[in-house]
């Protein structure tokens, strides 16, 4: 499942040619809005990084469910006999891989353009992984909810973003610790991210069958 | 909860003897609350007259969170039983919750302006209540879409899953915001003097009781209205089927069945 989604993404180049440039653009726009006074940008870099990731993940999630909308792909998926839990985990994994790629580019952008200093590399890595797992799990769950609705572009953000607020808070705090702060302070936040991801992975695995039936 | 409400067709009202009495009692309670809050209870030593806002603020907050909890339970029960009652209860409760959350935020902002000198503060409770407000709006938007599709038994679990996650999400948001703020500021303003007594305590408890009654009254009426709405939908469907059948049996248009 993950392989199929990633192959589609690789061949269509939508992620690399549209979502990725969008992410870089967001970073640039923040720079313009906040004046390239490096003091502000460097201090706010962790928050801006995760806001950019959040917006890009909305695009990636919508993309993940529109690739199936055409040609009755979703019916084929339902008839394929695959375990819904497997479909959920596959979709989430594909989104997670794309998000990780996005985060690497964004992190480079933040370091180069905002002048952020990485002090806790391990924490940075762990935070990225845990936050991405949470984003992908919750995103896949809410993505399939909104998929197939005529208003999905507008509905998904108001359903999903409040749910992802804890991820934003925790990931930003952990990043602040990793970018120039005391790394020890970041680990509890990282734990919170891991718990969030775990909760949504479990719930998604259980509930995805019901949701896939009707989307 | 799932017993069908005996509302005869033609007399479509959401009132009954019990709810009328409840309504009268609630009105009387509200009158008493107004008197207690404005005249009988003394102004607070620290908060002065602003404390009177709390007689509305605290009860609405309690009711709003209770209503959310009911929506979550109703969603879970609907996913299990697929019965119309739970479906309707989820909607009714969420709508009333939205109103009470709005009132709670509004009174809180006014109270904060007087006491803290600011309408908004990054307090965990304010932040998570605002998030709750947005979550409810999202849930109701999804409900509206789901409600448009046919029979209740075939309706998807889409909005039920969002409803089910409503309360847990509020808890997670609250927990994370709480933790986030407590790392930054150690001393938060105690919002309610823990040692209130006498008239003030009585008024607060009265407020909680009266607003709970108001909530039940609103919930019952909203429930019945949504229930009737469902009936209208079902009747419309039945009529359409009957008309189609009579067309098949009777070649003249508009034949009786």
- pLDDT in the model for residue B167: 86
Closest CA to B98 of B125, B126, B130, B127: B130
> Is residue A156 a contact partner of residue A95, using CB atoms and an 8 Å limit?
no
Q: Do B169 and A158 touch (CB under 8 A)?
A: no
> Is residue B203 a contact partner of residue B37, using CB atoms and an 8 Å limit?
yes
Q: Do A165 and B173 touch (CB under 8 A)?
A: yes
What is the C-alpha end-to-end distance of chain B, expressed in Å? 35
* Structure token digits, residue A146: 């909104």
Contacts of B151 in chain A (CB under 8 A): none
Which residues, at least 6 apart from B172, have a Cβ–Cβ distance to it below 8 Å? A166, A196, A199
DSSP reduced 3-state for B44: strand
* Nearest residue in B to A185, CA atom: B183
Q: Do B137 and A159 touch (CB under 8 A)?
A: no
For chain A, 215 residues long, give each residue's pLDDT as a single digit of tens. 677 777 777 776 666 777 888 888 888 888 888 877 667 787 788 888 999 999 989 988 888 887 776 666 666 776 666 777 888 888 888 889 889 988 998 888 888 888 777 787 888 888 899 999 999 999 988 888 877 677 777 888 888 888 898 899 889 888 888 887 777 778 888 888 898 999 999 988 888 877 776 65
Contacts of B137 in chain A (CB under 8 A): 158
pTM for the full model?
0.81
* Nearest residue in B to A158, CA atom: B138
Sign of CA dihedral A159, A161, A164, A166: negative
Q: What are phi and psi of B188, to 5 degrees?
A: -100, 155
Q: Do B145 and A213 touch (CB under 8 A)?
A: no
- pLDDT in the model for residue B185: 47
- HEC assignment per residue over A126-146: HHHHHHHHHHHHHHHHHHHHH
A146-179 pLDDT per residue, tens: 776 777 778 888 888 888 988 998 898 888 888 8
Q: What does chain A come to in residues?
A: 215
| Number of alpha carbons in the 13 Å side-chain half-sphere of residue B73 | 9
- What is the spatial distance between Cα B203 and Cα B139, in angstroms, rounded to a whole number? 34
What's the gap in Å between the CA of B158 and the closest CA on chain A? 6
- Give the model's confidence band at B2: pLDDT under 50 very low, under 70 low, under 90 confident, else very high: very low
- pLDDT in the model for residue B255: 45
- What is the spatial distance between Cα B125 and Cα B118, in angstroms, rounded to a whole number? 15
Q: Do A214 and B145 touch (CB under 8 A)?
A: no
* Structure token digits, residue A2: 């993950």
């Amino acid at each position: 499942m993950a392989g199929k989604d990633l192959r589609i993404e690789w061949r269509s180049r939508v992620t690399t040619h549209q979502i990725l440039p969008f992410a870089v653009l967001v970073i640039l726009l923040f720079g313009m809005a906040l004046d390239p006074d490096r003091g502000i940008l460097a201090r706010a870099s962790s928050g801006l990084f995760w806001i950019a990731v959040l917006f890009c993940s909305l695009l990636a999630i919508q993309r993940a469910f529109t690739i199936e909308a055409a040609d009755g792909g979703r019916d084929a998926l339902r008839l394929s006999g695959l375990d819904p839990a497997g479909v959920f985990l596959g979709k989430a994994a594909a989104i997670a891989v794309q998000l990780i790629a996005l985060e690497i580019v964004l992190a480079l952008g933040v370091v180069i353009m905002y002048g952020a200093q990485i002090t806790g590399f391990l924490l940075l890595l762990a935070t990225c992984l845990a936050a991405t797992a949470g984003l992908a799990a919750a995103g896949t769950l809410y993505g399939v909810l909104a998929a197939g609705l005529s208003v999905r572009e507008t509905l998904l953000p108001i359903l999903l973003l409040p749910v992802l607020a804890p991820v934003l808070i925790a990931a930003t705090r952990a990043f602040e610790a990793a970018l120039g702060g005391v790394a020890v302070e970041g680990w509890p936040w990282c734990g919170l991210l891991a718990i969030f991801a775990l909760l949504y992975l479990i719930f998604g695995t259980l509930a995805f069958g019901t949701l896939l039936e009707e989307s | 909860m799932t017993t069908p409400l005996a509302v005869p067709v033609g007399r479509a009202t959401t009132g009954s003897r019990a709810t009328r009495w409840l309504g009268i009692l609630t009105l009387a309670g509200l009158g008493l609350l107004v008197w207690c809050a404005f005249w009988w209870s003394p102004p607070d030593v620290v908060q002065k007259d602003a404390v009177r806002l709390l007689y509305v603020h605290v009860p609405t907050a309690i009711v709003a969170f209770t209503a959310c909890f009911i929506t979550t339970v109703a969603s879970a029960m609907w996913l299990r039983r697929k019965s119309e009652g739970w479906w309707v209860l989820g909607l009714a409760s969420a709508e009333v919750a939205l109103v009470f959350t709005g009132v709670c935020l509004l009174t809180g902002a006014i109270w904060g302006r007087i006491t803290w000198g600011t309408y908004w503060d990054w307090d965990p409770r304010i932040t998570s209540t605002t998030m709750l407000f947005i979550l409810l709006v999202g849930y109701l938007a999804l409900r509206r879409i789901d409600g448009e599709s046919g029979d209740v038994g075939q309706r998807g679990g889409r909005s039920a899953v969002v409803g089910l996650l409503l309360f847990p999400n509020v808890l997670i948001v609250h927990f994370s915001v709480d933790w986030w703020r407590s790392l930054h500021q150690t001393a938060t303003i105690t919002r309610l003097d823990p040692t209130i007594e006498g008239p003030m305590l009585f008024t607060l408890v009265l407020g909680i009781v009266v607003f709970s009654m108001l909530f039940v009254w609103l919930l019952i009426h909203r429930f019945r209205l949504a229930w009737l709405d469902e009936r209208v939908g079902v009747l419309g469907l039945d009529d359409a089927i009957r008309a189609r059948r009579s067309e098949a049996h009777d070649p003249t248009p508009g034949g009786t069945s």
